[in-house]
Structure 1
């Protein structure tokens, strides 16, 4: 047996094919997976071992084939260096049959759409996130027939359920292929979701109320002149928040049009690093003095 395995043989190996470098806007329409016969010369040891390996070769449609109308034409001679690498230096490839293979394909439509995050996140007491969760990437390309793609405006993620969170979020989540698509595929199958989680506290400040659009010939007296405002802010930013960062206005044109006996105060400026901002008063009484 050892004598036979140490001899050189020329054999025909029948292998299946896989496809690589197929452009994302193309889909092969072949019904079956072709096989190729590769005639190799090697020692018996290598032939014996080959029976335990995956008998497939990768066909490079970008570099080893050309396009003839709606068909990829694969040329064995052009693919020979690539196939030699796949077999390794212990095999000498004598020939490949057939010397060409044809792969019919169809052209698909590519559309870029935003990703919609499906999430339910609750934070531990005293913790929160100032900004919305960041998706990377925040959009994705879908590939498919034009009739299926034109009705799709976004792609959803699978459900992200997190509870009692007190640390930064950094997780991978899969995308859901739209159910109505038969030819559809996505440019990638998952995305990364991140969010900065911080310790939060509540702050309260007294903010002056300003009257806007008051005619020069009218004087009014209003009460209260200031409103207590509550907000939530991270501990690291707590000391940086000042009353001048907020602006509350009442619009005289509003009461002139409605004849209301009170103003409705509104925020005109709020710091970017606070959330859940609330006024402790929602009405400003007034009288016209002149």
Structure 2
């Protein structure tokens, strides 16, 4: 056995193997220059399906495509990265006679975006993209925020907390829509807010109802405030001639919250407490609670001290 390995013609054998390997490489390269057909599977995603339809048939999840190209190009499909999905956009114009119909031209255009420029599409399966549908009814309902938002000390809401959009289109059967008069957001609890913010909230959609969007934007606008005070006289209108009225007290203090950057924008003349003489007579009592008859539109919280006044109506004697 030792003599066999000693006298074996290793040099000639290695030379032979080298030429076999080189020949194999040239054969591979020659094959890659030729054109072939192969099949590739591409994920299929349908987008923007109209909300007012229900699909009876299941949508295709992949599309099997037979393509023709040179071997070097086809090698990139076999050994390259995973094929990216083909996105098919749907719209109302694709609905025909209770079917969602995607045209072959649209399919081929979207497929071509995923393939090399030299690659030809021979065929694809499934070849028909018509899906039976049912049309739903629709109506618009308000969106209600669920939860509570509390402020830090010395902060106030600049405006009402709201979601955008405040109303939303919902879709479903006539029976399902009759039972749904509003859509609620997910529960939100935020404490000690001292800065304005926006937050995306998920909508809680009832069973058998579809919505045009799944999320809305919560808008919370806050600002630091300070408290200010004005002394306001109590007035009476429509007082008959020959009568006079005395209020106790004749003036009250109005305390209100105002944003620090708007402190000097509000004037005492924007506040009034006016009673109608006839209303006071009909009250048939000598003391009444106080409310502002006139106030700035931006004013949200205020208090009157004291908040009850007494009065005496006297007839002038000549």
TM-score normalised over the length of structure 2: 0.78
| CA radius of gyration, larger in | 2
Partner of 1:163: 191
- Alpha-carbon distance in structure 2 between the residues aligned to 1:64 and 1:34: 22
Shift of 1:200: 0.9
Shift of 1:246: 0.7
Look up the SS of the partner of 1:100 in the other structure.
coil
- Residue 122 of structure 1 contacts residue 163 of structure 1 at CA under 8 Å; is this kept in 2? yes
Q: Tell which deviates more after alignment, 252-261 or 13-22.
A: 13-22
- Residue 50 of structure 2 contacts residue 92 of structure 2 at CA under 8 Å; is this kept in 1? no
Which residues of 2 match residues 1-290 of structure 1 at below 5 A? 3=29, 7-14=34-41, 17-31=44-58, 33=60, 36-42=63-69, 43=71, 44-49=74-79, 52-53=82-83, 57-62=86-91, 67=96, 69-77=97-105, 79-89=107-117, 91-178=119-206, 181-182=207-208, 184-290=209-315
User: For the aligned residues, what is the CA RMSD?
Assistant: 2.7
- Alpha-carbon distance in structure 2 between the residues aligned to 1:60 and 1:111: 24
Structure 2: where are the runs of 5+ without partners?
1-24
Number of corresponding residues: 285
Question: In 2 relative to 1, CA 158–264 (structure 1 residues): closer, same or farther, beyond 3 Å?
Answer: same
- Alpha-carbon distance in structure 1 between the residues aligned to 2:175 and 2:93: 32
- Residue 234 of structure 2 contacts residue 247 of structure 2 at CA under 8 Å; is this kept in 1? no
Question: In 2 relative to 1, CA 35–233 (structure 1 residues): closer, same or farther, beyond 3 Å?
Answer: closer
- Residue 64 of structure 1 contacts residue 74 of structure 1 at CA under 8 Å; is this kept in 2? no
Structure 1: where are the runs of 5+ without partners?
none
TM-score normalised over the length of structure 1: 0.85
Question: In 2 relative to 1, CA 49–90 (structure 1 residues): closer, same or farther, beyond 3 Å?
Answer: farther
Shift of 1:185: 1.9
- Alpha-carbon distance in structure 1 between the residues aligned to 2:151 and 2:273: 30
Shift of 1:64: 9.5
- Residue 250 of structure 1 contacts residue 265 of structure 1 at CA under 8 Å; is this kept in 2? no
